[in-house]
Amino acid sequence: MTRLILATRNAGKITELRAILADAGLDHDLVGADAYPDIPDVKETGVTFAENALLKAHALARATGLPAVADDSGLCVDVLNGAPGIFSARWAGTHGDDKANLNLLLAQLSDIPDAHRGAHFACAAALALPDGREQVVEGQLRGTLRHTPTGTNGFGYDPILQPDGETRTCAELTPEEKNAISHRGKAFRALVPVVRELLG
Protein backbone atom coordinates (compact mmCIF):
# COMPACT_ATOMS: atom_id res chain seq x y z
CA MET A 1 0.00 0.00 0.00
CA THR A 2 1.41 3.37 -1.02
CA ARG A 3 1.32 6.15 1.55
CA LEU A 4 -0.03 9.40 0.14
CA ILE A 5 0.18 12.72 1.98
CA LEU A 6 -2.38 15.51 1.62
CA ALA A 7 -1.12 19.05 2.25
CA THR A 8 -3.68 20.01 4.86
CA ARG A 9 -4.31 19.95 8.58
CA ASN A 10 -8.06 19.99 7.90
CA ALA A 11 -9.48 16.64 9.04
CA GLY A 12 -12.63 17.10 6.93
CA LYS A 13 -10.61 17.45 3.74
CA ILE A 14 -8.63 14.27 4.53
CA THR A 15 -11.85 12.34 5.22
CA GLU A 16 -13.33 13.59 1.92
CA LEU A 17 -10.37 12.51 -0.23
CA ARG A 18 -10.02 9.22 1.66
CA ALA A 19 -13.69 8.40 0.87
CA ILE A 20 -13.28 9.35 -2.80
CA LEU A 21 -10.20 7.11 -3.17
CA ALA A 22 -11.94 4.24 -1.35
CA ASP A 23 -15.04 4.56 -3.58
CA ALA A 24 -12.72 4.23 -6.60
CA GLY A 25 -11.18 1.06 -5.15
CA LEU A 26 -7.84 2.73 -4.36
CA ASP A 27 -6.59 1.64 -0.94
CA HIS A 28 -3.71 4.09 -0.51
CA ASP A 29 -2.81 5.07 3.05
CA LEU A 30 -3.80 8.76 3.02
CA VAL A 31 -2.48 10.98 5.82
CA GLY A 32 -2.50 14.73 6.42
CA ALA A 33 0.37 17.11 7.05
CA ASP A 34 -0.12 16.57 10.80
CA ALA A 35 1.56 13.18 10.37
CA TYR A 36 4.79 15.13 9.66
CA PRO A 37 4.72 18.04 12.15
CA ASP A 38 8.28 19.17 11.36
CA ILE A 39 7.40 20.17 7.81
CA PRO A 40 7.10 23.96 7.53
CA ASP A 41 4.10 25.58 5.85
CA VAL A 42 4.66 26.52 2.21
CA LYS A 43 4.28 30.12 1.05
CA GLU A 44 1.65 30.36 -1.69
CA THR A 45 3.53 32.61 -4.11
CA GLY A 46 1.88 31.34 -7.31
CA VAL A 47 -0.43 33.52 -9.39
CA THR A 48 -2.94 30.74 -10.14
CA PHE A 49 -4.66 28.05 -8.09
CA ALA A 50 -2.72 25.41 -10.07
CA GLU A 51 0.66 27.02 -9.31
CA ASN A 52 -0.10 27.22 -5.59
CA ALA A 53 -1.31 23.61 -5.47
CA LEU A 54 1.86 22.44 -7.25
CA LEU A 55 4.11 24.49 -4.94
CA LYS A 56 2.59 22.81 -1.89
CA ALA A 57 2.53 19.30 -3.39
CA HIS A 58 6.18 19.43 -4.55
CA ALA A 59 7.38 20.85 -1.22
CA LEU A 60 5.67 18.03 0.65
CA ALA A 61 6.89 15.34 -1.74
CA ARG A 62 10.49 16.60 -1.38
CA ALA A 63 10.27 16.84 2.41
CA THR A 64 8.72 13.39 2.96
CA GLY A 65 9.86 11.35 -0.04
CA LEU A 66 6.18 10.42 -0.55
CA PRO A 67 3.65 11.20 -3.28
CA ALA A 68 1.82 14.34 -2.19
CA VAL A 69 -1.53 15.92 -3.02
CA ALA A 70 -2.33 19.59 -2.47
CA ASP A 71 -5.19 21.84 -3.45
CA ASP A 72 -5.84 25.55 -3.70
CA SER A 73 -9.22 27.14 -4.14
CA GLY A 74 -11.19 30.35 -4.02
CA LEU A 75 -14.09 32.38 -5.33
CA CYS A 76 -13.96 33.95 -8.80
CA VAL A 77 -16.49 36.71 -9.50
CA ASP A 78 -17.37 37.40 -13.15
CA VAL A 79 -17.71 41.21 -12.90
CA LEU A 80 -14.43 41.42 -10.96
CA ASN A 81 -12.55 39.59 -13.76
CA GLY A 82 -12.11 36.50 -11.58
CA ALA A 83 -11.20 38.27 -8.32
CA PRO A 84 -10.83 37.63 -5.42
CA GLY A 85 -9.42 34.39 -6.92
CA ILE A 86 -6.16 33.34 -5.27
CA PHE A 87 -6.61 36.22 -2.78
CA SER A 88 -9.98 34.88 -1.55
CA ALA A 89 -8.75 34.01 1.95
CA ARG A 90 -7.13 37.42 2.46
CA TRP A 91 -9.38 39.70 0.39
CA ALA A 92 -9.92 42.12 3.30
CA GLY A 93 -6.23 42.07 4.25
CA THR A 94 -6.06 39.53 7.07
CA HIS A 95 -5.70 35.87 6.08
CA GLY A 96 -8.68 33.76 7.10
CA ASP A 97 -11.01 36.55 8.34
CA ASP A 98 -14.11 35.10 6.66
CA LYS A 99 -16.51 37.77 7.95
CA ALA A 100 -14.35 40.70 6.82
CA ASN A 101 -13.73 39.10 3.41
CA LEU A 102 -17.45 38.49 2.91
CA ASN A 103 -18.47 41.99 4.00
CA LEU A 104 -15.89 43.65 1.75
CA LEU A 105 -16.95 41.62 -1.29
CA LEU A 106 -20.65 42.35 -0.69
CA ALA A 107 -19.87 46.07 -0.37
CA GLN A 108 -17.93 46.00 -3.64
CA LEU A 109 -20.88 44.32 -5.39
CA SER A 110 -23.66 46.30 -3.68
CA ASP A 111 -24.87 48.03 -6.87
CA ILE A 112 -24.49 44.99 -9.16
CA PRO A 113 -27.90 43.58 -10.25
CA ASP A 114 -28.73 39.87 -9.99
CA ALA A 115 -28.25 39.30 -13.72
CA HIS A 116 -24.56 40.16 -13.38
CA ARG A 117 -23.75 38.44 -10.08
CA GLY A 118 -22.41 35.23 -11.64
CA ALA A 119 -19.43 33.61 -9.90
CA HIS A 120 -17.81 30.24 -9.31
CA PHE A 121 -15.76 28.45 -6.72
CA ALA A 122 -12.60 27.04 -8.34
CA CYS A 123 -10.26 24.36 -7.04
CA ALA A 124 -7.00 23.03 -8.44
CA ALA A 125 -5.72 19.73 -7.03
CA ALA A 126 -2.15 18.63 -7.74
CA LEU A 127 -0.34 15.32 -7.34
CA ALA A 128 3.45 15.52 -7.15
CA LEU A 129 5.85 12.58 -6.90
CA PRO A 130 9.29 12.67 -5.27
CA ASP A 131 10.83 12.08 -8.73
CA GLY A 132 9.37 15.38 -9.95
CA ARG A 133 6.43 14.05 -11.95
CA GLU A 134 3.29 16.12 -11.52
CA GLN A 135 -0.28 16.54 -12.67
CA VAL A 136 -3.00 19.10 -11.92
CA VAL A 137 -6.77 18.77 -12.28
CA GLU A 138 -9.46 21.37 -11.65
CA GLY A 139 -13.07 21.56 -10.51
CA GLN A 140 -15.67 24.34 -10.49
CA LEU A 141 -18.98 25.08 -8.82
CA ARG A 142 -20.89 27.81 -10.69
CA GLY A 143 -23.59 29.94 -9.17
CA THR A 144 -24.91 33.41 -8.38
CA LEU A 145 -23.96 35.68 -5.48
CA ARG A 146 -26.71 36.64 -3.03
CA HIS A 147 -26.93 40.18 -1.61
CA THR A 148 -26.91 38.96 2.00
CA PRO A 149 -25.34 35.90 3.66
CA THR A 150 -27.67 32.95 4.39
CA GLY A 151 -26.95 29.67 6.18
CA THR A 152 -24.54 28.53 8.88
CA ASN A 153 -22.85 25.49 7.31
CA GLY A 154 -19.56 25.70 5.45
CA PHE A 155 -17.13 28.60 5.65
CA GLY A 156 -15.64 31.44 3.62
CA TYR A 157 -17.98 32.64 0.89
CA ASP A 158 -20.40 29.68 1.22
CA PRO A 159 -23.20 31.89 2.69
CA ILE A 160 -23.45 34.02 -0.48
CA LEU A 161 -22.94 31.58 -3.38
CA GLN A 162 -26.17 29.97 -4.59
CA PRO A 163 -25.21 27.08 -6.90
CA ASP A 164 -26.88 26.94 -10.31
CA GLY A 165 -30.09 24.91 -10.09
CA GLU A 166 -30.34 25.43 -6.30
CA THR A 167 -32.59 27.67 -4.22
CA ARG A 168 -30.19 27.52 -1.25
CA THR A 169 -26.69 28.86 -0.71
CA CYS A 170 -23.73 26.53 -0.16
CA ALA A 171 -23.99 27.34 3.57
CA GLU A 172 -27.56 25.99 3.62
CA LEU A 173 -26.60 22.63 2.08
CA THR A 174 -25.71 19.65 4.25
CA PRO A 175 -22.01 18.68 4.15
CA GLU A 176 -23.00 15.61 2.06
CA GLU A 177 -24.98 17.71 -0.43
CA LYS A 178 -22.16 20.21 -0.73
CA ASN A 179 -19.45 17.55 -1.18
CA ALA A 180 -21.46 15.98 -4.01
CA ILE A 181 -21.34 19.18 -6.10
CA SER A 182 -18.40 21.12 -4.68
CA HIS A 183 -15.42 22.38 -6.65
CA ARG A 184 -13.07 20.48 -4.31
CA GLY A 185 -15.09 17.29 -4.61
CA LYS A 186 -14.99 17.57 -8.41
CA ALA A 187 -11.24 18.20 -8.40
CA PHE A 188 -10.56 15.34 -5.97
CA ARG A 189 -12.68 12.97 -8.08
CA ALA A 190 -10.79 14.09 -11.21
CA LEU A 191 -7.60 13.16 -9.36
CA VAL A 192 -8.62 9.48 -9.11
CA PRO A 193 -7.43 8.45 -12.63
CA VAL A 194 -4.23 10.46 -12.06
CA VAL A 195 -3.50 8.59 -8.82
CA ARG A 196 -4.31 5.30 -10.55
CA GLU A 197 -1.97 6.10 -13.46
CA LEU A 198 0.98 7.44 -11.45
CA LEU A 199 0.73 5.25 -8.32
CA GLY A 200 -1.10 2.14 -9.54
Catalytic residue numbers?
A: 72
**Which strand (E) or helix (H) includes residue 144?**
strand 134-145
Instruction: Determine the Cα–Cα distance for residues 150 and 160; give it in Å rounded to an integer.
Output: 7
Local structure of residue 160 (DSSP, 8 states): T
Which candidate, 105, 124, 117, places its Cα nearest to that of 47? 124
Local structure of residue 67 (DSSP, 8 states): -
Region of residue 13 (left: phi > 0; alpha: psi -120 to 50; beta: else): alpha
**Which residues, at least 6 apart from 127, have a Cβ–Cβ distance to it below 8 Å?**
57, 67, 68, 69, 134, 135, 191, 194, 195, 198
Cα distances (angstroms) measured from residue 19 to each of 14, 32, 111, 183 = 9, 14, 42, 16
Residue 91 main-chain phi, psi, to 5 deg = -60, -35
